[in-house]
Chain A
Amino acid sequence: MSLTSLVLSVLMIGAVYFFMGQRLITRYRSLGKAKAHSLPHYHGLWAALTSILPGLILLVIWSIGDDFLFKQMVKDFYPTEILSMGTMDQAVVRAKIMNVVEGIAFGTPEPWIQAAGEAWISWKSTSDLALTVLAIAVSVGSGFCGYRQINPEFRSRNNVERILLWALALSSMVAILTTLGIVLSVLFESIRFFKLVPPQDFLLGLEWNPQFEGAERAGSGGGTATYGMLPMFVGTFLISAIALFVAVPVGLFASIYLAEYATTRVRAVVKPLLEILAGVPTVVYGFFAALTVAPFVKSVGESMGLEVASESALAAGLVMGVMIIPFISSLSDDVINAVPQALRDAAYGLGSTKSETVRQVVLPAALPGIVAAVILAVSRAIGETMIVVMAAGLAANLSFNPLDAVTTVTSQIVTILVGDQEFESAKTLSAFALALILILITLSLNFLALQVVKKYREQYD
């Protein structure tokens, strides 16, 4: 049976137990026996859960585990010379075997591969059959045990609630598992990368040329790949700086105007409009940057006699800045509104004009919150992907000129990892090393912002 229908069957068995459990306890009640401890549906749920949970757990473990087992077992078919080869070649061999399993034939495979593939198919069918029998047996059996426990004194509700409690606790673990998954997956591949490329070359190298197939540029050092990340970091910071140069003044002034000057009606119209800007997907911004802004920047620059790359950092940075405006404005709006009205009253009472109150009283008081907002905006700009992939180009120029084409960490990650990749090459692994640096930067910025906000809170509490 396929996995989907097996899951459905287990659920069906559970449903049957639910009704059986419910009926059993109602029968007890109608017989005039003692009042049941729990309501009938709790008894039903108890019977259903005792049947479904073991069944589903078995299904999950089995279907993850069988592939790992087969991968070990299939090694018996390998000729000795392949066993001594590197992991990469083993992966290639396994792919060939899998082709046989899936029935995709590229020419005639070697006999041993054919044999291994056929063995795999037979293991798979045995395993599927075993799983079907076992899963149904387990859920029927353990469900029956649960069903047998049901009697008026049985504390079904407490047991069901305990299971629920565990489910809730487990779901909160997912956040930790995700973080762990991110860190470990990136860390392991990065370590493998640093075995191939020394960390100092990566961190301090001035040239990035991971040898894109078929796109080797002239004069790139005779085809040897170099993995110096500095050009990309310069590019990332250049674009982020342009973005913040747009977003911070516009976002801040907009939020000040909305919080301190605008009438309720203007606020009610403008705020949602700014939020629309925040809801536009980044791929749309990227399209807009590549199609409209970049040519516009180029033509304006050229009419002024400047040399502008068609995928200039300026265009990508400008559009990214627009994307970040609502982020800055809504965060600073929050902190500006959090400044107590009493402080404003004090300033007005002394005869301050509105702008004096804002500049000399409100903004200094809100400064930590605004700083935190800007830090978060930096983090967002550095991690932004689609705009730079679509509008910033791939040329790893080490340049601080906003009119040049530069590349960024995220756009390199995408370029390297999109499409099929050999997982063992330094080129592929370099993307994970880049991601590691990206995570470290964004997390430390996040940490910094939290610290600033914490300080700010202490000041007011």
Chain B
Amino acid sequence: MAAAEQTVEQVDLSRSTVRELNQRLHDAADGGPQSWRITHPNGLHAIGAGINAPLELEIDGHVGYYCVGMNKEATVRIHGNAGVGLAENIMSGTVTVDGDASQSAAATGRGGLVVVRGNAAARCGISMKGVNIVVEGNVGHLSGFMAQKGALVVCGDAGEALGDSIYETHIYVRGSVAELGADCIEKELGEFHTAELTGLLAEADVDANAADFRRYGSARKLYNFNIDNADAY
């Protein structure tokens, strides 16, 4: 086993199907290659979905929809762009995209870290529930919509309706915000949040100063925050 763990398993998706690859990645939870290099992803869907082991994955090229969805423990690096729903419902581990990510990156993510070196499109971190997201570029409209937990760090600009109907996620933006969503307000960047942000930037290997960011969060004024409405649920 020791020898197998040291070698890098190569999978060429122009020769093998995503279904075969994903089955092998799932089987690796019970032993087998721990380090993988995937070539010719060619925009295929659901590459590496459902990994449940501390594997190392390098993907050379652009991936399609729902890449490494539900990821648990694996460290994934995508040398290209990602399609809709990157690392959807990520549980833990780290997913890094060298290029851009399409809409709904890290949607509903419960844990782990997602790093986008380029821009993320609309709905980044929609309904996030504990994942941390660091975007070096910009994010599109409705990012952090109904975001419940975790942190969304945007080193560039944010589009319209940022943090609409947000719960307890911490949002940090260095650039401009086109428009804040309903019930999302700017908040003080205190000591706790500066430390959290500094830690996330370091973890994501981003050279930026926490003091240059502004923090946004929930005003907690929407209907669901009012105790008098508790009976309605």
A binds B: no
